[in-house]
Each structure stands twice: as structure tokens, then as C-alpha cells.
Amino acid sequence: MTTITGLGGAAAILAGVTLAATATAQTPLPMATVVPDGTILDVTATGRVTRVPDLATVRAGVVTQNATAAGALSENAQRMTQVVRALKSAGIAERDIATSNVSLSPQYRYTDNQPPVITGYQASNTVSVKFRDIAKSGPALDALVRSGANQIDGPSMSLSQPDAALDEARTDAVKTARARATLYAQAAGMTVARIVSIEEAGDNDGSRPQPPMMLQRAAMAEARDFTPMLAGETDVTAMVRVRFLLK
């Protein structure tokens, strides 16, 4: 048995006429099989393209507290109505505003050797907001806070239409797999005869979640400049497993 080591630490084992290779060490492949008319080579490859996100998703909400459950919900509803009104005034379409969470929970006071005592209630209402013009989302966030929002999480950057970028990544993945197959074939003194099968092994449409961003209402209200929102770049990836026939 002879062992051939290729690029990136991937190993190819040549036993008789069997050769297995992988372009991604984290994704083990099944052992290659021997066919009567040649050698089977399995390659896993990832294609990648870069795009600028054009969609930012932010979660904005109102948290209120009151001595009674009804009072907490009533105050929350009033402030949330103002928040939604501010979003629409900022040009956000109704289809881009969706309720993501509504909750009401009691607040307790704990004392040693005593059962918990309810001291009031906390109500929370959160909406998910899509900003289709990332450059203009900063002023909208500031308007949210001025209208009563006291909790903002995000943003999560993504592509509104990732299909074309994903197709480019898939094409790049197959080209990468083919190039690597040619490399291994040449190292083994063989040539690539044809592709036996192609299996899609996963993709990433460019969604790029961010750590939560908590904005304090007072600080936002006093700020002279708008909150900046920068799109940056994101990678769109596709992974394929390609089986080649070598001769």
C-alpha cells in the first residue's frame, strides 16, 4: 500500500486502483470503491463568492413594568403603537414589520426563608424590522428610540436575493473539485475520465448574524449624529461532493 499526501493535508490512499481525496478535512468522505474500468476519486470542495449585503434585520421592542398585569400590558401597547407609527413614518413598509415576541411575566421579591412575593409585572413586545436600504436605517433606529423603543437587538446582515450568488458559488465549487481531481490524477499517473456523480453538501446564502446591539434610549435621544449602519461584505458559499472516474 502506498500513501500519497496532497494539498491542505488531505490524504489519498492508493490501494490497487482505489484513490480517495478530500478538499475539506472537516468533512470525512466514505471510502472510495473500485470499479472494473478505472479508479473512483471522491472530492469535497467549497465554492465562494463575495457580496455586499443589501438587507439589515433588527429586532426592536418595548419593555414596561407596572404593579398590575393589565397596567403593564396597557402601557406597553401604547408605547408599541408609537414605535410602529414611527417605523411607518420612516418609510418602512408594513410587510417589513412583523411581531416576533410578546410576553408578560411577574416580577418577584425574594427573602430568606420566605416564599417569593409578586411585586409587579413586566410586559415585552418585540417586532422584527427589515431595512432594505441599509444606509438609511440609522435614522430609523434613532426615530424608534425617540418614539419609545427601549430594546434594540441586531443588526443581522443578509442578501435579499441570494440565488444568483449561490449559483456562482456552486459553479466555483465544481471547478475547484475538478481542478483538485486533476491534481490527484496527475500525482497518481492517471487522467480524469469523467464525473460519476455530484452531490450538494450544503450552502450559506450570505446571512451574517451580528452580536446583539443594545441601545440605551437616553443616549440615543441626546445623540447629535445618526447611528451608523455599515453593510461590509459577506461570503456566499456552496459545498459539493464530486465523484470522478480516473483512468
Q: What is the pLDDT of residue 139?
A: 84
* Backbone dihedral angles phi then psi of residue 126, each to the nearest 5 degrees: -125, 140
Q: What is the pLDDT of residue 38?
A: 84
Average pLDDT, the chain: 81
Question: What's the pLDDT tens digit per position in 207-243?
Answer: 865 544 444 333 344 444 567 777 888 899 999 999 9
Question: What's the pLDDT tens digit per position in 23-37?
Answer: 443 445 444 455 557
Quick check: 98 pLDDT over 90? yes
- The domain limits of the chain are 39-52+162-206+234-246, 55-158
pLDDT band (50, 70, 90) for residue 4: very low
Three-state SS across 96-145? Answer: HEEEEEEEEEEEEECCCCCCCEEEEEEEEEEEEEEECCHHHHHHHHHHHH
Mean pLDDT along residues 155-165: 91
Q: What is the pLDDT of residue 166?
A: 95
CATH, domain 39-52+162-206+234-246, list 2.60.40.10, 3.30.110.170, 3.20.20.80, 2.170.130.10: 3.30.110.170
Quick check: 62 pLDDT over 50? yes
Q: What is the pLDDT of residue 12?
A: 38
Quick check: 18 pLDDT over 50? no
Does 55-158 match 39-52+162-206+234-246 at the fold level? no
Mean pLDDT along residues 100-104: 94
135-169 burial: b if 16+ Cβ within 10 Å, else e: eebbebbbbbbebbbbbbbbbbbbbeebeebbebb
Mean pLDDT along residues 152-171: 92
Q: What is the pLDDT of residue 137?
A: 82
Q: What is the pLDDT of residue 112?
A: 87
* Backbone dihedral angles phi then psi of residue 74, each to the nearest 5 degrees: -65, -50
- Per the DSSP assignment, residues forming a β-bridge with 39 are 34, 246
Question: What's the pLDDT tens digit per position in 105-159?
Answer: 999 999 888 899 999 999 999 999 999 988 878 888 888 888 989 998 888 889 9
Question: In whole angstroms, how far apart are CA 12 and each of 44, 188, 192, 200?
Answer: 13, 9, 15, 22
**Single-letter amino acid, residue 233:** E
Q: What is the pLDDT of residue 210?
A: 52
Q: What is the distance between the terminal CA atoms of the chain, rounded to a whole angstrom?
A: 19
As given in the structure block, the three cell numbers for residue 186 are 496527475
Residue, of 218 and 165, whose pLDDT is higher: 165
CATH, domain 55-158, list 3.30.70.2970, 3.40.50.1110, 1.10.8.60, 3.30.70.1450: 3.30.70.2970
Question: What's the pLDDT tens digit per position in 195-206?
Answer: 999 999 988 988
Q: How far is CA 26 from the centre of its chain?
A: 20
Quick check: 184 pLDDT over 60? yes
